[in-house]
Amino acid sequence: MRQKGFRIWLARIVLTILALIILLPMVQTFLYSFSSIGEMKELMKERGKLGEGEWMDPHYSPHQISLGQYEQILIKDEAILHFFNNSVIYAAAILLGQALVVPALAFGLSKFRFRGRETIFFLIVMLMLLPFQVTMVPNVLTLRFMGLLNTRWAIILPMLFAPFFIFLLRQYMIALPDELLEAASIDGAGPFRSFLWIVLPVCRPVLGAAAALSFAESWNLVEQPITYLTAAKALEPLSTQFNQLTRKVSGYEFAGAALYILPALLIYLFFQEDILAGIQLTEMK
C-alpha cells in the first residue's frame, strides 16, 4: 500500500511539473500582454540579434502594468479586431451548421437500416483519414464551379460535413439500446421526436466534447483560408495573421495572441466535464 501511495504521489508531482511547463508559454503571453507597447517593442527587437549560444534576457512579468496593447487593438487599430470578428463568424457558423448536420447524420447511420449504409460509413472513415492536401484540389474546383471561392461560404460549407465528428457520434449512438427507441415508438414518438427528446439528451457528454473539439478546429483554421481566400484577404480569420504580425515589431503582438487564446480557453473550461466524460464513455463503448 505504501508503494502504491508513493507511485500515486510521484505521478501527481511529475504530471504537475509537466502541466506547468506546458502552461508557461500561455501564462507568459497573458503577462506580456499587460506590458507597455514600448517595452514589448524593445523585447521583440532582440530577436535575431543574438549570437549562437546566446539567450534573451528573461522577462517574466511587465516592468509596468499597462493596458496600452489592448487599447491599441480594441480602439485605435481595428485590423486585429476585424480579423478576430472573422474568426468569431466562422466558428459560430461552422458550429451551428455542424449541430444541424452531424448529429442527424450520425443518428441515421447508427439506427436506420438501408441499402448502402455501410458504404456511406466507409466513405466517411476514408474522408476522415485523408489529409487536407489530398482533398484541397477537388474542393477548390467545386467551390470555383459553384462561384463560392473567395467568399465566407468557401470556409463554412466544406467544414459542415465533419467526418471525424460523424464517426465519433455514430460510434456512441450505435451502442444505445434499441429498446429505448422502441419504447418511445410505442408511446407515439416518431424518429424525429425520439432523436430530439431521447437520443440527444443521452448523448450530451459526447456532444459537448464534439462541440469543444469542433470549435478548436474551426477557430484555428489556417490552410483553408489561405487556399480558398487568395483574392479576399480581408475575409481571413485571425489565425492566419500572426505570421504577418510578428514580421514587423508593433508592440502589441502579445495582446493579439491573448485575445486569440481567450475564447478557446473559455470554451474548454465550459465543456471540460463533457470532454472528459465523452472520452471516457467513448472508450467504454
**Does the pLDDT at position 235 exceed 90?**
yes
Task: Tell me the per-residue pLDDT of 33-75, one tens digit each, with 9 for 90 and over.
Answer: 888 888 887 777 776 666 666 676 667 777 788 888 888 888 8
Q: What is the pTM of this model?
A: 0.84
The continuous run of DSSP H or E covering 98 comes out as helix 79-111
State what percent of residues in the chain have pLDDT above 90: 28
pLDDT the model gives residue 53: 65
Domain harbouring 104, CATH code: 1.10.3720.10
pLDDT the model gives residue 91: 94
DSSP per residue, 123-158? HHHHHHHS-HHHHHHHHHHHHHHHT-TTSTHHHHHH
> How many whole angstroms separate alpha carbon 88 and alpha carbon 16?
33
Query: Does residue 30 lie in a domain region?
Result: no
> How many whole angstroms separate alpha carbon 166 and alpha carbon 103?
7
Q: What is the dihedral of CA 203, 208, 209, 215, to 10 degrees?
A: 140
Query: Does residue 130 lie in a domain region?
Result: yes
Q: b/e map of 68-104 (b: 16 or more CB within 10 Å)?
A: bbbebbeeeeeebeebbebbeebbebbbebbeeebbb
Query: Does residue 139 lie in a domain region?
Result: yes
Query: Does residue 7 lie in a domain region?
Result: no
**Does the pLDDT at position 281 exceed 60?**
no
Task: Tell me the per-residue pLDDT of 131-178, one tens digit each, with 9 for 90 and over.
Answer: 888 888 899 999 999 999 999 999 999 999 889 999 989 988 988 888
Mean pLDDT to the nearest integer, 9-32: 88
Asked whether 207 and 103 are in contact (CB, 8 A), the reply is: yes
Range of the domain at 165: 81-284
pLDDT the model gives residue 284: 46
Asked whether 65 and 34 are in contact (CB, 8 A), the reply is: yes
pLDDT the model gives residue 32: 86
**Total domains in the fold of the chain:** 1
> How many whole angstroms separate alpha carbon 24 and alpha carbon 285?
36
- Among 7-11, 110-114, 124-128, 273-277, where is mean pLDDT lowest? 273-277
> How many whole angstroms separate alpha carbon 180 and alpha carbon 201?
13
Residue tagged 506590458 (cell numbers) = 35
Query: Does residue 3 lie in a domain region?
Result: no
CA 128 to chain centre: 16
> How many whole angstroms separate alpha carbon 32 and alpha carbon 27?
9
Query: Does residue 192 lie in a domain region?
Result: yes
